[in-house]
Amino acid sequence: MGEDEEKEDIRKEIKELSEKIDKLEETLSKISKPYSDIVGYMGQFQSVSKGYFRLLDLYEKHGSLSPEIIIPELKDPISKEIVVVLFNKKEQNISQITEELKKRRGTASRRIVREKLQSLMEDNIVVCEEGSKTKKYSISDEVVEKWSQVLGLPK
């Protein structure tokens, strides 16, 4: 056997080994996929469990999950109720907010609601989006992000 034939045999063996390695990698990838999925699911489960226990802890400490937890500077009861209304029902106009406050508190005035909304907007707690006919109010992204952090939820 000549030197060229030996080199050719070595090249063939290397090529065959390379093909076997490729097949082995492919097989290992297929086999490991379910385990990788399980690890991902376990991570999600841990995250959800962590959030759940965090909620229980907050509820135990504060008696409820109220806006004061994330907005401690919120002292006015009407403003607190407005924030709760906007957390529960996103993008509400003044009439809708006033109606919801009447259901919760028995009375509410559009003038007072407008004043409180103005103050909440100045404090970057509430934002206003002007539509073609009415203004819609919602909780600011900053407050939503704080709330998500407090609850341990992903953004």
Question: Are 79 and 144 in the same domain?
Answer: yes
Question: Are 29 and 13 in the same domain?
Answer: yes
d(CA 69, CA 148): 12
Q: Give me the pLDDT at residue 58, please.
A: 66
Question: Are 97 and 59 in the same domain?
Answer: no
User: pLDDT tens track of the chain, all 155 residues?
Assistant: 678 888 888 889 999 999 999 998 888 888 888 888 888 888 888 877 777 777 677 667 766 667 777 787 888 889 989 998 998 888 899 999 999 999 988 888 999 999 999 999 999 999 999 877 889 999 999 988 887 777 666 55
Question: Are 49 and 73 in the same domain?
Answer: no
Name 136's bridge partners. 129
For the chain, the domain total comes to 2
Q: Give me the pLDDT at residue 148, please.
A: 77
Which DSSP string do the residues of 79-110 spell out, in sequence order? Answer: HHHHHHHHHHSSSB-HHHHHHHHHHHHS---H
Question: Are 5 and 54 in the same domain?
Answer: yes
d(CA 58, CA 56): 5
Question: Are 11 and 82 in the same domain?
Answer: no
d(CA 81, CA 58): 19
Name 130's bridge partners. 135
Alpha helices in the chain (DSSP H): 3-62, 77-88, 94-105, 110-122, 141-151
d(CA 68, CA 23): 59
Question: Are 100 and 24 in the same domain?
Answer: no
Question: pTM here?
Answer: 0.60
Structural domain of residue 145, as residue ranges? 67-151
Q: Give me the pLDDT at residue 55, please.
A: 67
